Amino acid sequence: MLRRLAPLLLATSLTAQTKPTVCGALIPGTPLAGTNSAAPRIVDLGSAKTIQIEIFGHSENRGYHTFLQPMLDAAPPLAGVKFIVTNNWIGGQEAFRWADPTQRGYRTIDARLRSRAHPMLSLCLFSNNATYPIRKADTTDANFVRFLSNLQSIADHLHANGTGAAMVYFSAHRYKPSNSLSAWLENPAVGHILVEAGKQKKGWIKPGPEQHGLHWCCFPSCYANDRAHTNSTGDKLMAEAWYNLLVRELTGCYSEEYGRGATGSGGHWPVLKPVAGFPKVGNANFRLRTSATLGGAPLVYLLGLDKLPGPILANPLVLLYGAASGSGPGNGTHQLPLPIPNDVGLHGALLQVQTAALDSGATLGLSFTNGLTLGLCK
């Protein structure tokens, strides 16, 4: 029976401009889709005691540094390392201006490179959607090609042949109701840049955090009155996304959702998320939280080493059991303690987790949460 259920488990998230089906499953800091095959999995900055975090882009970046700096101060990703955040955003400066030596954005990068005193990580979110809106995410669209060229030029400029940024991270546009398609199409453009960087052995370009779906899920409460820029709630969300990504990049520790499971009674999508920090070796308080199941439903947590669909339910390594509290469709919750052993040999291990709930109102009597990848680190 379990093997027959495998195809039901994780219909992958849609890659088109569609609001995420299960907003509650999103974890800030999940990287944009796309891989640079030449880039390292973990960024090694040696024995640096201070790291510069430099933010570049237009007004969409204007406020999140006020939350990111305190996050880095309170819990630095690398013990004993000081992180200094500088926000270099410029209103109205689209990507093509940052790539043009005659423009203010380009000169701003030059100035930051000249003043660099410590290893530097560049957090970038650029757009051309106001002046050169993309209509198709392929190279037959002149504005798509222009945006790709602009981002590549910016990345090379920031890297400065190895004397500038150690890594350049490209995030992409948040959900923008007034210009939604062209803003969205800048997301797959970043994926294209990453693939090309791998081919060209440019290992200094990596994906920043996904912002589009994350902010669509909180629209309009995380937007300013113009419904284009962030308010303080949106700034904090962007900061959380970048903070989690920095932890992932510098240590290998992360939690990442994938897929969307299968609905239970009442059409509710069950959700699986981590609780109590990162899956770090020795974190005795780490837990998993299942929510939005049928209240009172018996639960099975399935842990394995391979992503779904298929391998975990077909051949799980570990089955852990629980029962949801509450009553009625969508009201069930449960927390599973999952302390991470204090064993440095677990560093770099990837664990896949999903929850199944016994639910007579679900297909074949079971509902499923999203999948969750846990990247363990020391």
CA torsion through residues 63, 67, 68, 69, sign = positive
Query: Rounded to whole angstroms, what are the CA distances from 309 to 8, 30, 268, 270?
Result: 8, 20, 20, 17
Q: Is 338 helix (H, G, I), strand (E, B) or coil?
A: coil
- Cis peptide bond prior to 279, omega within 30° of 0: no
Whole-angstrom Cα distance, residue 109 to residue 56? 8
Report whether 157 contacts 106 (CB < 8 A). yes
For the chain of 378 residues, list the mean pLDDT of each consecutive stretch of 10. Answer: 35 60 96 96 97 98 98 98 99 97 98 98 97 95 98 98 98 92 94 97 98 96 94 98 98 94 95 96 97 96 70 61 94 96 93 94 93 94
Report, at the CATH architecture level, how domain 23-251 is classified.
Answer: 3-Layer(aba) Sandwich (3.40)
Report whether 334 contacts 324 (CB < 8 A). yes
Whole-angstrom Cα distance, residue 54 to residue 65? 10
Question: In the prediction, which pLDDT does 347 show?
Answer: 94
Write the DSSP assignment of 216-235 as a string of letters: HTTTTTTB-TTSSSB-HHHH
Report whether 323 contacts 297 (CB < 8 A). yes
Write the DSSP assignment of 58-103 as a string of letters: SGGGSSTHHHHHHHHHHS-SSTT-EEEEEE---TT--HHHHT-TTS
Q: What are φ and ψ of residue 227, in 5° steps? A: 55, 30
pTM of whole model > 0.85?
A: yes
Residue ranges of the domains in the chain?
2-14+260-375, 23-251
Report whether 194 contacts 34 (CB < 8 A). yes
Domain 2-14+260-375 bears CATH identifier 2.20.130.20: yes
Two domains, one topology: 2-14+260-375 and 23-251: no
* Closest alpha carbon to 55 in 109, 111, 99: 109
Question: In the prediction, which pLDDT does 315 show?
Answer: 56
Q: What are φ and ψ of residue 197, in 5° steps? A: -60, -40
Whole-angstrom Cα distance, residue 315 to residue 312? 5
